[in-house]
A and B are shown apart, each in its own frame.
Chain A
Amino acid sequence: MSDATSSTEATTGLVPDVTASRTLTSDAWRSLRRRPDVLVAVVVVAFFTVVAAFPRLFTATDPKHCIIGDSKIRPQGFGEVHPFGTDPHGCDVLAQLAHGARPSLLLAFVVVSASVVLGVVLGMLAGYYLGWVDGVISRTVEVFLVIPLLLAALLLLSLFRNVSVGAGSFDVILLPAVVLTMFGWMGYARYVRASVLEAKNLDYVTAARALGASDLRIMVRHVLPNAIGPVTALVPTAIAGVISTEAVLAFLGIGVRPPAISWGIMISNGSEWVTGGYAYLLLFPLVCLLATVLSLVVLGDALRDALDPRLR
């Protein structure tokens, strides 16, 4: 009848585990390995990471080598000079795609790594020491949370519009990286803080402290492992988020800077030419962006499901 909803929640504890021990991580790993969508996602992400790291494996052309006479050539297919065509300035699209992967992905990895480190450290300090340390950090989290990431990025990066920073791989992403990290750490901090608070009350932590373990040791060996799992599940989705945000910023001219090329910039330029019949200029970078973002989100979602026993 209408009771299809009485779920298994009330069952656990009534029927003890019938099988042998199944730890959470081994369960997680097993369920991840089985899912076809996860496997596809991993392949896609790995592919684009390789493209970003070694663009020259995929194209011999220099994206900056643009001959105006060769502009707006439609895709010619693989094996030709311009497999994906050229843009209005005569630059090879495939080369741009390959080289453009790096700023987008590098920015995302840098931002997320830095945010995670910052967030985890602050979260642990706040949760472990409480008192005024927690007061300051929690307040800071609150304040930064109020300001939406995109808005802060819009404001701060607009102010830097006329500043040029250099042309190396890290230079072009420096400004957006700093701004996005500054407003990206709060979630991890809150999460870790809550984990620390929970773990502090556990008996084995009290025991460790009674045995004279130093604060740092307790934090790293006992508390951190518990908090890290769920935080890991957040990482792929966060990376996807930064890639998307970079595209928006590039669209407005305040992301990765020309003359460096990124997918965001390609999308921004390409969107102007769709109606002119050159849809490929928009579609190629868009598809790459979408594929990467979708795969990362699938991964993040799968990780989260795998690591959260209640959601089965």
Chain B
Amino acid sequence: MSKTYKVKKVIVKTEYKVLAVLLIILAGGLVLLPKYEKNSGIKPETFLLNIMSTERYVTTDQIADKIIKQDPNLLLIDVRKKEKFDAFSLPNAVNIPLADVLSSDSEAYLNQDSFDVVLYSNDNCYSDQAWQLCNRVGYKHIYVLKGGVNEWFNTIINPQEPKSTESELTFKQYDFRKAAGMYFGVGNTASTTTKVKPKKVIKLSKKKKKVAEGGC
């Protein structure tokens, strides 16, 4: 009885040893594994798809409309330098210079779910790059203002009057831009003094009255 027990004990002990050695060898094998290359953020394939898509662009008309309607979900972010931002910026915009896009302070603005963030710069090159960085890190709900502030001035602040042969849609768009421009503080820009047409004299006098009242 005791003999067999001893034999069993020896067997058990050797089995333990074998198992231990086996596990140690396996653990040693881990050292030989190639270095695991891991992507932080999104994969290059997804990134490429996102770059190719133009969904990120919003037009100045859309933004003007949203500002006027006081869309609570809209958050404008200016990625230009601080001096430029101080000199001129779109209404209620926040300044995050391109260099600070990935800093921890700006993460609160960019990495969230409650706002549609619209990035803008003078053109849409730097804002695009800011967008690409944000997209790379995995931030969502981020858009780019197509054409940037230059386009804003071309369309909203100083829209070109369409030719008489152009479609009704263009005229409607022009009217909207004109009205939006007034909303953003443009009275009658220098280029639109031609608006004073002899035909509209009556209308003009009406307008004048209103303005005079406001002026007084």
A complexed with B:
no
- Write the residues of chain B forming the contact surface with A, with a CB cutoff of 8 angstroms: none
